[in-house]
Structure 1
């Protein structure tokens, strides 16, 4: 079974520490195909393993393991341990982080190649990992050395460009941030608070400009146009449409990140799942 079939059309992205076993079970019940663990999960993957043990069918994916923080040899050992216990249900999302957050980040393209070399030598299959790629050179590594890519804070037009660059067989699984709020003023305040840190990171602002946003759009906390486009807000139907826009642009799977990140997302995700027509699971 290919990842596009295994993951289903829509999953959920949430920071690793904020995904409880109860939430994972609820996401599975609601019909989401995957839970993506963000915030640079450690190489031991113990939390991912616990979530897999608490559920039956949902895929657990890392979104992403940071190559500067997670030892690749340890990650490989963790992969094989989990694969033996929960075959086919773990997907490794791998990324190179950000210059502003990682002082040792240097020559990330070469570092990614070396990291993947270790995984190869340890027998971690190419098809069981995806590379987070924002620029064209990292996207090429994703194509050559993984099942595909898991981009973050991108828009449907960039999904379409990635699909064209990667071809039809590679997995394209973008993240889409959403706020279930029909009041534009309060929704934008939530979105701006979330985006503030990312708008100080060169790789994200560069990617935003590649996506068609101007220097003015990325300045001073982001224009309304940028905020509304990258962090979609509205009722459940509007947020379901935001996910569908990526699918229509060529994504195989979209993972939704619900804001505010500190709140329990279950109710919002239940409404979005219903709007998407996801098949709920019982028993």
Structure 2
């Protein structure tokens, strides 16, 4: 289990998603900011978010083990811990074979990366692993605080909890569209899904969790988008987020679509429905 408390709900997005908005998101009562992408080892994006806020946890989703040297990342972790104790969670992962020329034996690479982090004094309870299927989920349970799945249906959340067992953290990402028009909501989801449908590791996971006929490069069907993107009113979206909690997630990181829009109004509407600001004492 993580050594720091994330709360039940956080926010996921790219750095530009949070630039100048991290403090506003903190005030809404969310427990964590997950900054996506494959950042350089100095984690400058995360440093900026930490400096802008006072309490909220800042997490990496994820540091790529092929491109950010473990020793340098460990130095950054310790620098963050000295300046912002108890507020940074290090998410790591192996990325995608289509994006990395070096991509060979990702499992062994992650194991060796964890060995280096351990040798440099990064605590197990402050690391989470991007894990979708059995072997990586088992490694997440054994060597880190837990798992951080991305763009997965509730069926994967249930599987992940069973694979992890009762102790480790399960912090899943969930995409949302505040839109009651089905066609418009699906269009927003399809724009994002298109990239991931070109990645074999995601497609292989989706085959296992409800879409056995899916192929790399396929278009996103309406059924697929409805399973992976929560849409509708704030009440309907919140019901979808809570389904992940009911399936075993400890924490859900909300990503608002479309990605280039200002997410704060949608996050505010969801926070009000969830009662987050009230719980945070705002």
TM-score by length of 2: 0.95
Paired position in structure 2 for 1:178:
176
Matched-pair contact (CA < 8 Å) for 1:217–1:223: no
SS at match of 1:270: helix
Paired position in structure 2 for 1:155:
153
- Give the deviation of 1:219 after TM superposition: 6.6
Give runs of ≥4 in structure 1 deviating > 3 Å: 2-5, 216-220, 280-283
Q: 1:195/1:207 Cα in 2 relative to 1: closer, same or farther (>3 Å)?
A: same
Q: Aligned pair 1:261/2:255, yes or no?
A: no
The worse-fitting range, judged by mean Cα deviation, of 167-176 and 132-141 is 132-141
Matched-pair contact (CA < 8 Å) for 2:153–2:209: yes
The worse-fitting range, judged by mean Cα deviation, of 179-188 and 38-47 is 38-47
Paired position in structure 1 for 2:85:
87
In 1, the alpha carbon distance for the partners of 2:274 and 2:145 equals 26
Q: Aligned pair 1:197/2:195, yes or no?
A: yes
Matched-pair contact (CA < 8 Å) for 1:177–1:232: yes
Could you tell me which runs of 5 or more consecutive residues in structure 1 were left unpaired when the two chains were aligned: none
Q: Aligned pair 1:45/2:40, yes or no?
A: no
The worse-fitting range, judged by mean Cα deviation, of 120-129 and 5-14 is 5-14
Q: Aligned pair 1:32/2:30, yes or no?
A: yes
Q: 1:45/1:183 Cα in 2 relative to 1: closer, same or farther (>3 Å)?
A: same
Query: Residue 118 of structure 1 is aligned with which of 103, 116, 124?
Result: 116
How do 1:2-13 residues align onto structure 2 when only pairs under 5 Å count?
3=2, 6-13=5-12
RMSD, matched Cα: 1.7
Alignment coverage as a number of residue pairs: 281
Matched-pair contact (CA < 8 Å) for 2:203–2:214: no
TM-score by length of 1: 0.95
Could you tell me which runs of 5 or more consecutive residues in structure 2 were left unpaired when the two chains were aligned: none
- Give the deviation of 1:5 after TM superposition: 7.1
| 1:142-173 Cα shifts (integer Å, max 9, x gaps) | 11110000000111221111111111110000
Matched-pair contact (CA < 8 Å) for 2:206–2:214: no
Paired position in structure 1 for 2:246:
248
SS at match of 2:5: helix
In 1, the alpha carbon distance for the partners of 2:8 and 2:74 equals 27
Paired position in structure 1 for 2:137:
139
Matched-pair contact (CA < 8 Å) for 1:10–1:255: yes
Matched-pair contact (CA < 8 Å) for 2:132–2:160: no
The worse-fitting range, judged by mean Cα deviation, of 208-217 and 129-138 is 208-217
Matched-pair contact (CA < 8 Å) for 1:178–1:256: yes
Matched-pair contact (CA < 8 Å) for 1:35–1:60: yes
Matched-pair contact (CA < 8 Å) for 1:147–1:171: yes
